[in-house]
Amino acid sequence: MAPRQSTPPAVLACGEIRTCLLPARQALDIRSAAQLLGLRADERVLLSERPGLYARSPETLTGVDCPLPSANGARVRAVGTVTAHAALTEGRVLQTSAYCRVPGTGPDQRRPWGEYLVRPGVVEPLGKLPHEAVAQGVLGGPRHGDLDVGLIADGLLTRVLRHPLLDQRPPFRSRPTRLRWAALPAAPGEGPSLERFTLAEDELRTVRLRVPEGTTGAELAALCDDLALHDWLLTTVVRMLDGLRLGAGAAQDAGTVVRTLRPAVDHLLHLWMPGARVGRELAALWDPLEERPGFTRQWQALVQRIRDQLTLHAIPAAHREVEPAP
């Protein structure tokens, strides 16, 4: 009888995350969040109150049997399950995250399905995996018919968004973002590293990582969920300020500015906590992003700007005859 440890270690982990504003007028409290994310009757929603309200659904599995995307055109068939969960931060930002790990080699033939189910979140190649080419293929986007974990994240998002707790009246307009990630093994003895974070068109971000053997899919997903959340916050607040004609001088501007910026204060400014839910080792991968371009630096500048604008518009118009340039 083959023992469970027979699966060779994963040489590739990949996933995709959808991040969006919860379409509800009021942010959900922790109990409603547990209801929203109760995807299974027999499993608890994980709830956390420090350092902020955070709820995460049980993991769900989706079976796949298809070629893996690859940059060199190799069509390696793989079989297994993709893990997905949904999470809600401060009752306001909804994320769905789908991911899987892929071992370097697999059997020549598909196994009985029950053997895949005892290794949740593992997609096993038939034969040998060209992992560098597949990682590149994953980040480049799958061709039709190739494994598409983004579809699984989409499917879960659609399911959660249909929940009757949501009144479909978000407090402001925003756009969802997608973050696609792939992690390859680090060189022996090396720690984890973030090789590339790319802002692509169409709200798509890609992240390429190197991690030591033994890093779990769940740890990686936690890091990438965190990156996706903060990237969405930056993207959303930048866009909020972008649409404003500041300093134009018209008297009716004041109302518009306050109306546009207020949701940021109500719903977003307190959410910035990079690395808060990431394991210590992987949390260090925030450092290069903080150095350049400086995610937190940009966030603080945005927050300061919003506060300045709101302060300025709190001053009665009579005293504001000379409008400052933005």
* Binders in 93-152 for other proteins, by CB under 8 A: 110, 112-115, 117-118, 120, 142, 145-152
Neighbours of 130 (CB within 10 A): 19
Shortest Å, Cβ 32 to other proteins: 15
Q: Which tokens in the block code for residue 235?
A: 């993207």
Shortest Å, Cβ 149 to other proteins: 6
Q: Using the rule CB under 8 A, is 4 a contact of other proteins? A: yes
| Pairing label, strands 46-48, 60-67 | unpaired
Q: Which tokens in the block code for residue 256?
A: 């518009």
Shortest Å, Cβ 209 to other proteins: 20
| Pairing label, strands 204-211, 177-185 | parallel
- Residues in contact with 172: Cβ distance below 8 Å, sequence separation at least 6, in sequence order: 21, 240, 260, 263, 267
Q: Using the rule CB under 8 A, is 1 a contact of other proteins? A: yes
86 sits in which H/E element = strand 77-89
Rounded to an integer, what distance in angstroms lies between the CA atom of residue 110 and that of residue 23? 42
Strand partners, 194: 209
Shortest Å, Cβ 42 to other proteins: 4
* Region from 44-52, 86-94, 221-229, 237-245 binding other proteins, contact rule CB under 8 A: 44-52
Contact residue for other proteins among 31, 44, 173, 270 (CB under 8 A): 44
Shortest Å, Cβ 155 to other proteins: 5
Q: Which residues bind other proteins (CB under 8 A)?
A: 1-4, 40-44, 46-50, 54, 61-67, 77, 79, 81-82, 110, 112-115, 117-118, 120, 142, 145-152, 155
